Every structure is written in C-alpha cells, then in structure tokens.
Amino acid sequence: MSRNQNAVFEGDAVAGPVLRFDGVGMRYGRAPEVLKDVSFELAAGSFHFLTGASGAGKSSLLKLIYLAERPSRGTIELFGRDVDAVHASDRPFLRRRIGVVFQEFRLLEHLSAFDNVALPLRIAGGKPDAYRADVAELLAWVGLKDRMHALPPTLSGGEKQRLAIARAVVNRPDILLADEPTGNVDDAHAIRILKLFVELNRLGTTVLIASHDEDLVARSGQPVLHLDRGRLRMFGRGVGERAG
C-alpha cells in the first residue's frame, strides 16, 4: 500500500476536500433516479445542513456517503479516494472515519448506555480497561453520566438521541453524519443536540446534518445544501461549494 493510501486509511490529513460528489445519480432498481447530477464538495472541518422536503433524497445522499449504497453514475471521493476504486476489503477502514447518527437511533436495547457506546470499540478489538474512562467521559459530555447503566427502553427520546451521538463519535470520526437528529425531541433538546454538534465541529470534525427543522437550521447560522426532487438546487454560505 502506498503512503497516500496509508494516509487515507489511518486518518491522516488529506489535501483537498474530505468529500466530493461529481455528477452523481442514484436509483433503486429500475425506479426513477432519487438523486440527479449531484455535485458538491465538503472541506475538512466544515459544518453544513442538508435540507429538502420528504422524499427529496436526503437519506439516500447520506447512505452514499457512509457507503451503504453505491451511485448509479458519477463519482464520489472520500478523503481523496474514488470510492469505486477502493477494494471491498479496504472499505471498512473508510467507514471507520465516518460516524452516523441514525434517525431511528439503532441502539441495542439489551445493552446499557455504556455498552452501547463502547460497542464500536469492542468490535474494533479494544479492551475494556483501555476504553472505560473514555466512554464514561463521553457519556458525561452528552449529559448521560448518571444514566450510563440504564437500558435504552428506560431513556427519553432526547436521551436516546444523545446516546446515539456518543456512540457515533466514540471512534473520533473525521466526518459525522446525522439524519434528522432532532426529529423526535422538543425544542429545548433540539438546541442542546445542536450545541453538541457545534462543539464537535470546533474540535475539527466535518459535520453534515440532514434536517427539515427550518427554525433550527436558521438558528444555527450554518451553510445549507438544499435538495429539490433529487437535484441540489441551492447553497448557503460556506467554503468548497459548487452548484450541481
């Protein structure tokens, strides 16, 4: 493996944008395209919202970024690499650099809050003695210090969302994606969750949040990518953006 490839897989800085779409189209089976000629770039350390009506293609675009789906045409680059050129055995290394907060949380209900957050570290071969303090600190950071032994069914919607955020960032990803992270919480919790994302971004994480919450987007003051029936129609302010 070349030095440049090592940089991609080990998490070192890569020159240029951390994410680039060029003329990307996506369809499921023989259905019409859900994404059409989408082109944009995200600079390292940037913060964007992804907006659009239900069915506009927001979740499909996120799935392409975290490699759950492949485009039907066009090019996607992650950390300077064309994802189609990455061998299947190397794709998990790219995925480890991306944290995802799913709309439906995807927490394991039989595991405690602590064990849900620690799970990615256990899967990666980490030892409990090595990560116990870090997981406890992360749970305290999201306001769940006193709930670390609680099971997900006993948590409120806001607590589950913050737990999902903690799990998504425990591996210190370079990119954090969130799909409607405030859709199941009240305004006060939505603001608290937004503050967590802002703090992560200040630490250097590139953040992309899909949301239909217009008030939250406006309050954040962050640049916006807007999807309209599969096409990227509008950009807010920001660096590294180009119309598609």
CA distance 183 to 175: 21
Provide the pLDDT confidence category of residue 109 given band limits of 50, 70 and 90.
Answer: very high
pLDDT confidence tier of residue 14, bands split at 50, 70 and 90:
low
* 0.85 exceeded by pTM: yes
pLDDT at 13: 58
What whole-number distance in Å separates Cα of residue 122 and Cα of residue 77? 29
Q: Is residue 114 classed as helix, strand or coil in its secondary structure?
A: helix
Distance CA 33, CA 26 (A): 5
Output phi, psi for 42, to 5 deg: -120, 125
pLDDT (mean) for 218-240: 79
Would you state the structure tokens that stand for residue 235, as one six-digit string?
């950009």
pLDDT given for residue 243 in this prediction? 36
User: How large is the average pLDDT for residues 161-168?
Assistant: 94
d(CA 178, CA 8): 22
pLDDT category of residue 188 using cuts at 50, 70 and 90? confident
Nearest to 8 by CA among 87, 126, 125: 87
CA distance 194 to 198: 6
pLDDT digits (tens, 9 = 90+) for 122-163: 988 899 999 999 999 999 999 999 999 999 999 998 899 999
Instruction: Work out the average pLDDT over 33-50.
Output: 95
